[in-house]
Amino acid sequence: MYEIKVKMNFSAAHNLNNYHGKCERLHGHNWLVEAIFRYGVLDKAGMAVDFRIAKKMLKCTIDKLDHSYLNDLKLLKKINPTSENIAKFIYDQLKKRSKNVGSVSVWENDNSCATYAEGL
């Protein structure tokens, strides 16, 4: 099995609902998103997928979130914008473009990350 990982950043603000602590107040992050794609075979060029294609798929989703207030986005209206839910949202969006999505990790800082993958 081959894994291809691409990373991309976006900046956004949010606040957490049904939570008591600092994060219930409006605050922002410079999020780092890691998307892993899994392939069983390589193409004729010896690649699982061109990094350019993987990055483009991720960018299409990240652009919907970048420089926004996540709580107000229509796309996220029905969920609490936690790192866990954002990871699943990005995973689901990527899955519409590629059946090879393995997992999505969302870092809100250097020390805190949430990952979503089917079957975890």
- Residues 10-34 pLDDT 10s: 999 999 988 888 878 889 999 999 9
Please indicate whether residue 108 is annotated as part of the active site: yes
CA–CA separation, 74 and 95 (whole Å): 19
Is-catalytic flag, 23? yes
Active-site choice (14, 29, 34, 108):
108
Give the number of domains in the chain: 1
> Residues 27, 13: contact at Cβ < 8 Å?
yes
Angle, in degrees to the nearest 10, between helices 51-62 and 83-95: 130
Sheet holding 27-39, edge to edge: 68-69, 2-14, 27-39, 101-109, 112-116
Domain residue limits at 41: 2-116
Q: Is 67 a catalytic residue?
A: yes
Catalytic residue among 3, 27, 60, 67: 67
What CATH number does residue 55 fall under? 3.30.479.10
Could you give the count of Cα atoms lying within 13 Å of 40 in the half-sphere of its Cβ? 1
Q: Which of 23, 24, 60, 118 is catalytic?
A: 23
Chunked into runs of 10 residues, the chain (120 residues) has average pLDDT values of: 97 92 88 97 94 96 96 91 96 96 96 91
Question: Quick one: what percent of the chain has pLDDT higher than 90?
Answer: 87
Nearest to 61 by CA among 87, 42, 24: 87
The model's pTM is 0.94
- Please tell me the number of Cα atoms within 13 Å of 82 on its side-chain side: 11
CA of residue 59 relative to chain centroid, distance: 10
